[in-house]
Structure 1
Amino acid sequence: MSPRSAEPFREVIDSALDLLRDYAGETASDSKALAQPLPSLLEQCQQLLAEAEVHQDPPPVRTVHHLACTGGTLISRCIAAQPNTHLLSEVDPLSPFVPGGFLPTDLIGLSRFSSRPAGTETQIQLFLVGLGVLYGEALRQGQQLILRDYSHGQFNFSDAVPERPSLREIVSRAHPVQSLVTVRHPLDSYLSLQDTGWVQHFTPSTLDEYAQRYHQFLDTYQDCEVIRYEDFVADPATLMQRICDILMLRYSPDFADTFSAISLSGDSGRRGDLISPRPCRAHPPTIEQDARDSEPFMTLLARLEYSLAETGTR
């Protein structure tokens, strides 16, 4: 091949080499860019979650309210058996049932019995700060925080129902709230209070007085859905689904098999791991006449859609 005839080939080769050099330079530049550290997958997920939370309403704190001896512990154990729940039992930051003396872990109790006793507002703020910690931890763990109210101290203690905010009102200062009220036939719950001696916590300790206080409890939570204990023990699966709908919880039918593993304070009634109606204890015949003679009690029965003849289920 003559030098002249080889010239076109040299031009093509030189052009190809120039292209390779240009590509090599771009590749090196891209390699440097790719070598920069990338955010971890966890960090990216956390960022996406944080951005999503900005556009979502915060989940509510669930509150469950009932008076003493109304079957509330059984229902609360079944709620606590639902998936991803975190239930605190018998909550009332302003409860009068706070013993003095040795309270090393109870900041509210310590503040009450300190050298300068804390007022109501300070006690509420202490409670809300602690609740905020639990609420935040529940969010991080993907759990639903539920507070079971200790309503007995507010409505069935001392000679008058005090003027004070309810647990629901206190919690709503800092968080959205989703609430449920559970009730039981008032005559049966009054008889249980007599059996435990707790009827002496309020004066006068009559059925008429109990009915008036029950009305005040219902007035406080008048905008809440109500579940009757008798309906729950008669059809646990259906009523538990209803409770989960009210509290915006995910329902699992397995609660009937797992609730027995959950232990809560406040289990003052006849303990057991079977959800079923139970016969009422014997009671003096005069109590039914007292009920008929009490206008507050008879209006209470009507308000809760009970009749006097329905007593006898515990």
Structure 2
Amino acid sequence: MTTPTGLKILQQELQQALSLIDDYSANQGNASSTQVDTGGLGNARSLLERCALVVNADKANSKPTLRILHHFACSGGTLISKCLAAQPNVFVLSELHPTTRLGMNINKAAYTPRDITTQAIYGRVPNVDALAEKLFVNDIIETEKHIKELGGHLVLRAHTHADYCTDKPTPQVDTLTRLLEPHFDIRQLVTVRHPIDSFMSLRDNGWIHFIPNSFDEYCARLLKFLTPFGIDKIIKYEDFVERPETQLKKITEALDLDMKADSLEYIDIFKISGDSGRSGAKIKLRPRKDMSEDYIKEISDSAHLKQITKILNYKAI
């Protein structure tokens, strides 16, 4: 039996490569565009051309990657967003939502020369929310492209509160995912804090924008928000402040980002909106605030809290 020479083995491997290219092209429906006459296996340029055609076709069919971080208000999202912003070549756009009126004085036009959507609302443009969504999508597409060309990574911090904690109907899918999923391969994570603590802070800040403004209603909305995400996509704030470096590594790996070892030392230089409660640079678990008897009763009566504690492995109180 004759042993194949090195040249023969190379020819066999090249033939297998050509077969794989043809199979891929046929499956993608691009056979006509990738069938370049090889002129035999000795024509290396033709083989390279065919490889390049397949690679370019694959790139054309693929969507760019976009990272999104979701969380309710008063749940530690600003801290975690700052930690992400401190990573190499990461740029965080904070608290985004294309159509919310929260924080806007609808009766007095504000000076917002960079914001077409806000001025369109003040200008009484018809169907302004539809326009706002189109502008938002185009802005994110161009921003992601700009940052990627500079070698960076874009992370969006969704203003989840605008979807799930107002007087508007809560959506089945959050607004950012709905609008951006057709254009991007989305990597996303959810961060949560025990609802007893986050709702208490929400109430103290006067940010309850739904009716009934009860703890159980809040838990029902939190459950609806969490439903589309698997447990592997959820990061608990309490775990983060207890082991920030370990949890940050988990977050950056899930979002396919590099982590800088000493990044936690200078997170306060980053300006992130929504910095409502935490003061001081040290990351540590803060003690729970004192609870009134009425609030304790709300907690004990909440059926939705029981579901949350089961899913997230939180203590009931």
| TM-score, scaled relative to structure 2 | 0.76
Rounded Cα–Cα distance in structure 2 between residues aligned with 1:129 and 1:280:
42
Match of 2:100 in 1: 95
Instruction: Give the counterpart letter for 2:100 in structure 1.
Output: S
Alignment match of 1:186 (pick from 188, 195, 201): 195
Alignment match of 1:245 (pick from 253, 269, 288): 253
Matched, 1:171 2:180: yes
Number of equivalences? 260
Which residues of structure 1 form unaligned runs of 5+?
1-50, 310-314
SS of the counterpart of 1:198?
coil
Match of 1:264 in 2: 272
Which residues of structure 2 form unaligned runs of 5+?
1-53
Match of 1:29 in 2: none
SS of the counterpart of 2:304?
helix
Equivalent pair of 1:73/1:264 in contact (CA under 8 Å): yes
Report deviation, 1:271.
1.9
Structure 2 vs 1, CA of residues 260 and 110 (structure 1 numbering), >3 Å: closer, same or farther? Answer: same
Structure 2 vs 1, CA of residues 224 and 117 (structure 1 numbering), >3 Å: closer, same or farther? Answer: farther
Equivalent pair of 2:67/2:187 in contact (CA under 8 Å): yes
Matched, 1:156 2:161: no
Alignment match of 2:74 (pick from 61, 69, 78): 69
Matched, 1:293 2:301: yes
Instruction: Give the counterpart letter for 1:157 in structure 2.
Output: T
Rounded Cα–Cα distance in structure 2 between residues aligned with 1:208 and 1:150:
21
Report deviation, 1:119.
4.1
Equivalent pair of 1:291/1:297 in contact (CA under 8 Å): yes
Instruction: Give the counterpart letter for 2:192 in structure 1.
Output: V
**Rg larger in structure:** 1
Instruction: Give the counterpart letter for 2:66 in structure 1.
Output: V
Q: Which deviates more, 64-73 or 112-121?
A: 112-121
Equivalent pair of 2:252/2:259 in contact (CA under 8 Å): yes
Match of 1:283 in 2: 291
Match of 1:141 in 2: 150
Match of 2:119 in 1: 110
Report deviation, 1:53.
6.8
Report deviation, 1:308.
1.9
Instruction: Give the counterpart letter for 2:265 in structure 1.
Output: D
Rounded Cα–Cα distance in structure 2 between residues aligned with 1:299 and 1:123:
36
The equivalences for 1:177-256 within 5 A come to 177-199=186-208, 201-222=209-230, 225-256=233-264
Of all paired residues, the percent bearing the same amino acid is: 32
Q: Which deviates more, 250-259 or 230-239?
A: 250-259
Instruction: Give the counterpart letter for 2:82 in structure 1.
Output: R
Rounded Cα–Cα distance in structure 2 between residues aligned with 1:159 and 1:59:
31
Equivalent pair of 1:159/1:203 in contact (CA under 8 Å): no
Match of 2:90 in 1: 85
Rounded Cα–Cα distance in structure 2 between residues aligned with 1:166 and 1:269:
26
Equivalent pair of 1:179/1:224 in contact (CA under 8 Å): no
Q: Which deviates more, 256-265 or 102-111?
A: 102-111
Alignment match of 1:131 (pick from 119, 135, 140): 140
Instruction: Give the counterpart letter for 1:148 in structure 2.
Output: R
Report deviation, 1:158.
1.5
Q: Which deviates more, 216-225 or 105-114?
A: 216-225
Equivalent pair of 2:63/2:183 in contact (CA under 8 Å): no
Equivalent pair of 1:111/1:118 in contact (CA under 8 Å): no
